[in-house]
A and B are shown apart, each in its own frame.
Chain A
C-alpha cells in the first residue's frame, strides 16, 4: 500500500506532475527574462509563463470545423502524458532514485519523442496548410537530432556498462552510481565531444532558435500549434517547459549528476542550479546569438557537427575499452 502511495506521490507531486510543471514554467520564464537581458531589454517578469497559463485558461477554445476533432483534442494530452512520464524516469542524485532500475534510458528515448509526435498528430489533424508545412519540418528535424542523441546515449551506456562489466547499461540509476564512484563524465576528455553533441541536440529538441524551423512564427505562423487556442495551447506551452527541464535533467544525469550525499534539500538545489545553467548555455545564449536556419542547413549541421562529435566520442570510448 505504501508503495502505491509512493508511486502516486512521485507521479503527481515530485518529481513528476506539480514539481515538473512549476520548474518547467520557471525555466521558460528564466529563458525569456535572460533572453531580454541579452538584448538589453527589461523583459517580462520571471513568473510570466504562469500568468500566460492563467490567461489562456480564460480564453475561448476554438476548434476548426474541418479538423479531425478527436485527434485534434487528444494530441496535446498524448504529448503531455508522454513527457510527464519521462520526468518520473530521471533520477535526481541524493533525492530521488528514479522509477525503474533497468533500461529506463531506452524508455526515456522513446518518451522524448512524444511531444514531437503530439505536434505531428495535432498539426496534421488541424487541417491547416501552415501546420502541414510545420509537421513535415518537425518530422525531418526529429530525424536529424535523434541520430546524434542516440549515439550520445549509447556512448554513455557503453562507458558505464564497462564499469559494471556489462556490454552497455541503459539504467540511469546505474549511470549515476557509476559517476558517483569515478567522477563526473564531463571531466572525462573522451566524453567531452559527446557532451557538446548533447548540447547541440537540446535546442533542436525543444524547438528554439536556431532550430525553431517547425514553429517559425514569421514564415509559417507557429506551424503545428497554429490552430490551438485556450487549454490545448496551455498543454503545448507547459509541454515545452517540461521538455526543457527533462533534457536539462537528462544532461545533468548523464554527465555531472553530483555526489548525492548530504542533506537532500542541498542536493535538490544543486541539481536545479545545474539544470538552469545547462538551459542557459544551450538554449538562451544560443537563441540570443543566432538566427533561424533553413531546414536543409539544420540537416547539414546535425549530420555534420553533433553526429561527428558523438561518433568521435563513441570511437574513443570503444578504443579505451577494447584497446582496438
Chain B
C-alpha cells in the first residue's frame, strides 16, 4: 500500500491527464487505419481487394444496365485490417485516418464507401471495357509504348495495336 499511496498523492499533485475529447481536440497516432476512401478513377477492377478482404466487406458487382461496376465497402463489417490497401495495385483504395465510426441504427446499411466504375468503349473494337488507369499501363509497358493511346483499348486489342504503333 505504501508505494501506491505515494503514487496516488503524486497523481493528485500532477492533476488530471484526461483528453478533452469530445469537448476538445484529441490526438491521432501515426498510421491509424480508419475508414476507407475509394478512388474510382484509379480502379481497374482487378478484384484483389474483394479476394483478400477478411470481413467480406468489399463487393464489386456489375450494374444492372451493364454500364459499369459498382464498388462497395460496408464499413459495418470491415475490420480495418488494411489488406485491401496493401494489395491494391493502383492505390485506388486508401485508408484514411477518420475513426469517427459511431452512427445510428437507421444508417446501418448506408454506412458504406462506394464508387462506380463506368465502362468505356474500346476505341478499336467498340466493346465496353473497364477504363485502364494510365499509372498501371506505365508500370506494365514502361517506356515502350504510347500509354495514352493504349489506355483506350481493351485487353484483346491492346497487344496487336501495341506492336503496330511501334512500327
Contact = CB atoms under 8 A, between A and B. Distances in A.
Let me know if chains A and B touch directly in the complex, using CB atoms closer than 8 Å.
Answer: yes
B17 interface: yes
A304 B164 CA distance: 99
Given A40-B11, A41-B18, 10 more contacts: A37-B11, A38-B8, A38-B9, A39-B8, A40-B14, A42-B16, A43-B16, A289-B5, A289-B7, A290-B4
Nearest to A289: B4
B163 interface: no
Contacts of A37: 11-12, 15-16
Given A285-B5, A289-B4, A39 B11 contact: yes
A41 B16 contact: yes
Given A285-B5, A289-B7, A290-B1, A38 B12 contact: yes
Interface residues of A, number: 13
Majority secondary structure, B binding face: helix
A22 interface: no
Interface in B4-63: 4-5, 7-9, 11-12, 14-18
A40 B15 contact: yes
A67 interface: no
Contacts of A41: 16, 18
Interface string A18-55: 00000000000000001011111111000000000000
A119 B17 CA distance: 37
A315 B8 CA distance: 36
A40 B16 contact: yes
Contacts of B4: 288-290
6 contacts: A38-B11, A40-B17, A42-B16, A43-B16, A288-B8, A289-B4
